Structure 1
């Protein structure tokens, strides 16, 4: 949002457009409020992920997918911490009040965690397919993936991808306002290339990888499914995969589509006209807001949709809402009875169905 303030075109100037230059104050205030709500929801959701991961850590070693979920929560947590600054910036009509150093820090952290979040989502898709496929194939050929090295590599990649932002972000005076934006030395060409690589690295390539991995996963599960339990499992996988891919696409596609439109304008492929100005003034802030909501959707999609974490959530809410006396003892007794009934059952299929139902 702050990177488009320097755009211009020799074919048409702002004076030729008979509309307000600062957009709608009502829209800006509304977006600032949404930023604040997303920040609060993201903080609560990602802190909840940290808590659930801590509770789970004491029982068994973290799996690869859980390590990715934990790092995804870290990136989203850092990302939502920047939203109050952007809320103030938007409410003040993009007039940056925090100084040049904070402009560099906040803009760099925002972009770095955007890349990191997308990278971890992509890595989780690859890991999910690899784990399911390798588990049903020859187990003797399974190799332990150095997950921590992969995670470190993803953080380094996100940092490298955000270096142009850290170098060229600055506060500039534009029409009497101090704006936090990217100031490339060669103007529009460098800015267009920057946006183009961001579209490719942060959306197009990850979206292709995520789609291919989940299509292969669905195909693999469909071919391997045989009995009723596996059919139910396949339907759950299909539903979760569809939600994951659609949420990623819906949250990010509108913003990157308008950004790509801006790239075409900067390369003089299309004209800078009133339609482009109106879209950037009124629609683009909404798409940025939609993209930011992905940071509070991720904890729900990648943690709370899983049965084991939903069970821990129920236990947590039960402990919070119930007294520490008789109800706690009663809950423990019920759990003990359930474990004993499952252990003494002579029909393993029915006990597994009981576990799934729980």
Structure 2
């Protein structure tokens, strides 16, 4: 899914990366910064196109509403990536101020929770459509979808509040401005009592995030798709293996994209040393970058309706653009001819 909450592990692991002898700093910067910038460019363009098609070119329905807000969560997250990449290029020196330090971190966290919850909501919607069609005919309306969407965004924002409070800038021993989590909300970084408190709050945040943003959604998505697959097989709706492959790919991609992130966060919490943290950091950046760009393709293009509408919309967009350019050129040529 997206490169969500990267500031947490990139900054908190800065000492490990700087002191590492397993990989050179330039090599790590290339491996991490390049996917960040590529995700920003490709993700912003592609997700922006998806949002445009879903909003203006497709009929408003429960499916389009859920997918629109899922892609919106990816899109919002990709806009923060240049700040993270810039900080990493400067060896974690944060030049954007304390306010943006808080905003960037909390925005990424909102995007992470929102994308995971919307994926769960989409799984629930498919479960209800397949196993409870009568209920869906009576209750599955745009108003119902708006209720789900509102609940997801409220939950995502509420879950990100601690990271808005804890995130702040401070000057390290080298004089650099670092944007990181201060779990004790105290300027005293040397006190052992406060360090113990920070460790406990950090552990509580990690456990709650792992359960709410990975473990529960993962098993919920598995349950929904497993029940959908069984029901479709029972009714003989599997005319081909494509629907089953799409469901399996969705489950596997969710696991593969998010598991490295939570493993890396766990290693940071337990203060593990390189090269394990370096490996999980690299995997996390690569998988979450892949998630932000290619997950929308997986979900959206599995439906023929969106695929056809998207192709027609993009073709029309390019045709209109080139037509306008041609007309403008002709007008300019006419005026030039008049002057001659």
Q: TM-score, normalised by structure 2?
A: 0.80
Q: Write the deviation string for residues 12-49 of structure 1: whole angstroms up to 9, x where unpaired.
A: x98xx984499622211331121111111111221121
Shift of residue 258, structure 1, vs aligned partner: 2.4
Comparing 304-313 with 164-173, greater Cα deviation is found at 304-313
Comparing 124-133 with 279-288, greater Cα deviation is found at 279-288
Tell me, yes or no, if structure 1 residue 194 matches structure 2 residue 205: yes
Specify the alignment match of 1:78 in structure 2. 76
Separation in 2, partners of 1:72, 1:298: 10
Relative to 1, partners in 2 of residues 1:48 and 1:111: Cα closer, same or farther, differing over 3 Å? same
Shift of residue 94, structure 1, vs aligned partner: 1.6
Separation in 1, partners of 2:31, 2:245: 33
Matches within 5 A, 1:94-105: 94-105=92-103
Relative to 1, partners in 2 of residues 1:278 and 1:168: Cα closer, same or farther, differing over 3 Å? same
Indicate which of 272, 277, 284 corresponds to 1:280: 277
Task: Tell me if structure 2 keeps the 8 A contact 1:122–1:206.
Answer: yes
Tell me, yes or no, if structure 1 residue 293 matches structure 2 residue 290: yes
Task: Tell me if structure 2 keeps the 8 A contact 1:28–1:93.
Answer: no
Specify the alignment match of 2:123 in structure 1. 125
Relative to 1, partners in 2 of residues 1:238 and 1:278: Cα closer, same or farther, differing over 3 Å? same
Separation in 2, partners of 1:210, 1:84: 31
Specify the alignment match of 1:31 in structure 2. 32
Q: Specify every segment of 5 or more residues in structure 1 that has no aligned partner in the other structure, as ranges.
A: 266-271, 326-358
Separation in 2, partners of 1:315, 1:243: 26
Aligned residues: 300
Indicate which of 260, 282, 285 corresponds to 1:254: 260
Separation in 2, partners of 1:221, 1:207: 21
Specify the alignment match of 1:344 in structure 2. none
Specify the alignment match of 1:309 in structure 2. 306
Matches within 5 A, 1:324-335: none
Comparing 164-173 with 314-323, greater Cα deviation is found at 314-323
Does the residue aligned with 1:96 lie in a helix, a strand or coil?
Answer: coil
Specify the alignment match of 1:345 in structure 2. none
Separation in 2, partners of 1:308, 1:106: 35
Separation in 1, partners of 2:77, 2:12: 24
Shift of residue 174, structure 1, vs aligned partner: 2.4
Comparing 168-177 with 286-295, greater Cα deviation is found at 286-295
Q: Write the deviation string for residues 80-137 of structure 1: whole angstroms up to 9, x where unpaired.
A: 00011111112112221211111001111011111111110111001111112223xx
Separation in 2, partners of 1:170, 1:75: 23
Indicate which of 88, 103, 106 corresponds to 2:86: 88
Relative to 1, partners in 2 of residues 1:140 and 1:32: Cα closer, same or farther, differing over 3 Å? closer
Tell me, yes or no, if structure 1 residue 223 matches structure 2 residue 234: yes
Relative to 1, partners in 2 of residues 1:7 and 1:73: Cα closer, same or farther, differing over 3 Å? closer
* C-alpha RMSD of matched pairs (Å): 2.8
Task: Tell me if structure 1 keeps the 8 A contact 2:33–2:85.
Answer: yes
Matches within 5 A, 1:1-358: 1-4=6-9, 19-20=20-21, 24-57=25-58, 60=59, 62-135=60-133, 138=134, 142-144=138-140, 146-176=144-174, 177-185=176-184, 186-225=197-236, 230-232=237-239, 235-263=241-269, 265=270, 272=271, 276-319=273-316
Does the residue aligned with 2:87 lie in a helix, a strand or coil?
Answer: helix
Which structure has the larger Rg?
A: 1
Relative to 1, partners in 2 of residues 1:107 and 1:22: Cα closer, same or farther, differing over 3 Å? farther
